[in-house]
Structure 1
Amino acid sequence: MPESAVRRLQRGEAVLNGWLHLPGGVSAEVMGRAGYETLTVDLQHGLIGDGGLVPTLQAIAATGAAPFVRVPGLHPPDLMRALDAGAAGVICPLIDTPAQAAALVHACRYPPLGGRSFGPTRARLVYGDEYAAAADTGVLVFAMIETARALENLEAIAQTPGLSGVYVGPGDLSLSLTGAATLDFRLGETAAAVARAAQVTARHGRIPGIFTQGGDLARHALKLGYRFVTAGSDFALLSAAARGVLTDLGAAASPASSLY
């Protein structure tokens, strides 16, 4: 796999990731050309439908960023489709047990290491005929840790053979731990859990990853030892920039009026 950002992660370096919620591909081009080293297409909570995956990956390819896909869930056909379409890595939500982590790896690795079906349609076009021989070591596979149950099983999940890394979703994790969702993981019970997740993941030789809104939170995550750090999404960055301009002009819409 020729993705330099992927090799950097495998070497132990830190990489900044951009998150893509918006359909159409143009925001992927904007984010990639802004300098994000990897870009993740969000098929779970994003607005990019299944039919928009390949066009978005094509837009990412024009920027040089390494393409990742967050699949909707632990469903092998979705994982295989994302990889066959050319994803350099996949992120799977709500992995709570070592058995689920093993199933995730099994779906993403070719036999005899796993059960991925052979048919790298666009992946072979993008990466060349050597793709299949290099995919099991070159494709990154991240298990998302998002619940109290996943935290209990973190040691075992991080030891899953073939797993590349653990990716923390602070919104769902804080919701599970405290009953209130927040992306700010610097305080309270969530802070301790996020710090521990980075330590455990690194101790077992895996890549620690996390979602942040960017700026201060991304810097904090890097200090904690996270190496695959999402620093903002296209949707959130656009919203914040638009509101910033209007607030500066004294014309920001109220939350109620913005719904209509």
Structure 2
Amino acid sequence: MKKPAHLRSLRLRWARSGRPLLGAWCMLPDRFAAEAVASLDFDFLCVDAQHGLIDYRDVAQTLQALELGEAAPVVRVPWNDPGIIGKVLDAGAMSVIVPMVNSADDARAVVAAARYAPGGSRSFGPVGIGWRDGPSYLGRTNDEVAIIVMIETVAALRNVDQIAAVPGIDALFLGPFDLSLSLGLEPGDNDGAALFDDAIDTVLHSCRTHNLKAGILSSRMVAPRRVTQGFDMISVTMDVQALSRAMADDLDTVKSQLGAAVTSRN
């Protein structure tokens, strides 16, 4: 059954929800894993084609699996390239996250790749999503597809207001690991370090100034702080980490009870 547009579009969800959207990162090239994640009540699910173990075929199949749920399907592409941006949108991504956007020119290239003429230069051929949505896709895509660019370098911070001012950009997405490295810090969430805190404030201020949404890669421990800070799109877990953590917890639970169980058996 075809789902209502607001269940698949970050742009429409932002307009209607009035709260931060919480999501998960899909990094495993496994359709069944994607189906399991899709069954959960996330607002968005991001298929990570940059750092995940996922190629284009996996992206297309994972997007099909995510159709079983109600989360908005997002793809982080490997790089700022019009070919791959167009292909993930053709496959069914309703939002695209583009890494390492360091200038207004980089941002304009993203918009051009993700929008059809006259607003961009995306080639028309939505084979995957076209079968799902039919002829109405062309008329709806500019309203439904969110364009999200990552701010994750010192150069991007220096140019963040110019990047945010580019017409067609919907959100800035802060990448804490690469940004920390660029700032000379250890990769991770470096809250409390002045350089890191200032970078977060800079991105959030730019988003507010230019009426954009602010996103960030996060975790279950840090996400509540990101909500308080004012982020609108927050990842709270990754499939591979959640799987590893849950299995480790189960193993530790049994090990902690093993002594009593052995004594009882004997």
Question: Is TM-score (shorter-chain normalized) higher than 0.5?
Answer: yes
Q: Give the secondary structure class of the aligned counterpart of 1:230.
A: strand
Whether 1:91 aligns to 2:94 is: no
Given the superposition, is the C-alpha separation of residues 199 and 247 from structure 1 closer, same or farther in structure 2, using an over 3 Å criterion?
farther
Q: Give the secondary structure class of the aligned counterpart of 1:208.
A: strand
1:221-240 matched pairs, under 5 angstroms = 221-240=226-245
- Work out the CA distance in 1 between the residues paired with 2:229 and 2:223: 10
Quote the RMSD (CA, aligned, Å): 1.6
Displacement of 1:125: 1.9
Mapped contact 2:99–2:151 kept (Cα < 8 A): yes
1:34-45 matched pairs, under 5 angstroms = 34-45=40-51
Q: Which has the larger radius of gyration?
A: 2
Q: Give the secondary structure class of the aligned counterpart of 2:156.
A: helix
Mapped contact 2:157–2:202 kept (Cα < 8 A): no
- Work out the CA distance in 2 between the residues paired with 1:247 and 1:174: 33
Given the superposition, is the C-alpha separation of residues 246 and 191 from structure 1 closer, same or farther in structure 2, using an over 3 Å criterion?
farther
Displacement of 1:66: 1.4
Equivalent residue in structure 2 for 1:129, among 125, 128, 135: 135
Displacement of 1:248: 4.0
Letter in 1 for 2:6: E
Of all paired residues, the percent bearing the same amino acid is: 34
- Work out the CA distance in 2 between the residues paired with 1:129 and 1:13: 32
| Number of positions where the alignment pairs a residue of Structure 1 with one of Structure 2 | 249
Letter in 2 for 1:229: I
Which deviates more, 110-119 or 128-137?
Answer: 128-137
Displacement of 1:3: 3.3
Whether 1:140 aligns to 2:142 is: no
- Work out the CA distance in 1 between the residues paired with 2:146 and 2:172: 11
- Work out the CA distance in 1 between the residues paired with 2:133 and 2:171: 22
Whether 1:192 aligns to 2:198 is: yes
Q: TM-score, normalised by structure 2?
A: 0.89
Whether 1:52 aligns to 2:52 is: no
- Work out the CA distance in 1 between the residues paired with 2:64 and 2:81: 23
Displacement of 1:41: 0.5
Tell me the residue number matched to 1:80: 86
Equivalent residue in structure 1 for 2:6, among 3, 7, 13: 3
- Work out the CA distance in 1 between the residues paired with 2:71 and 2:99: 22
Could you report, residue by residue, the CA deviation over 1:68-103 in whole angstroms, capped at 9, with x for unpaired residues?
Answer: 100000010000000011100000000011100010
Mapped contact 1:199–1:225 kept (Cα < 8 A): no
Displacement of 1:195: 2.9
- Work out the CA distance in 2 between the residues paired with 1:247 and 1:177: 37
Tell me the residue number matched to 2:163: 157
The gaps in structure 2 that reach 5 residues or longer are 257-266
Q: TM-score, normalised by structure 1?
A: 0.91
Displacement of 1:30: 1.7
Mapped contact 1:28–1:39 kept (Cα < 8 A): no
Displacement of 1:218: 0.9
- Work out the CA distance in 2 between the residues paired with 1:129 and 1:249: 55
Displacement of 1:17: 1.3
Mapped contact 1:73–1:93 kept (Cα < 8 A): yes
Mapped contact 1:167–1:210 kept (Cα < 8 A): yes
The gaps in structure 1 that reach 5 residues or longer are 252-260
- Work out the CA distance in 1 between the residues paired with 2:21 and 2:197: 22
Displacement of 1:202: 2.4
- Work out the CA distance in 2 between the residues paired with 1:44 and 1:18: 15
Displacement of 1:250: 4.9
Letter in 1 for 2:213: I
Q: Give the secondary structure class of the aligned counterpart of 1:34.
A: coil
Tell me the residue number matched to 1:255: none
Q: Give the secondary structure class of the aligned counterpart of 1:112.
A: coil
Displacement of 1:24: 1.2
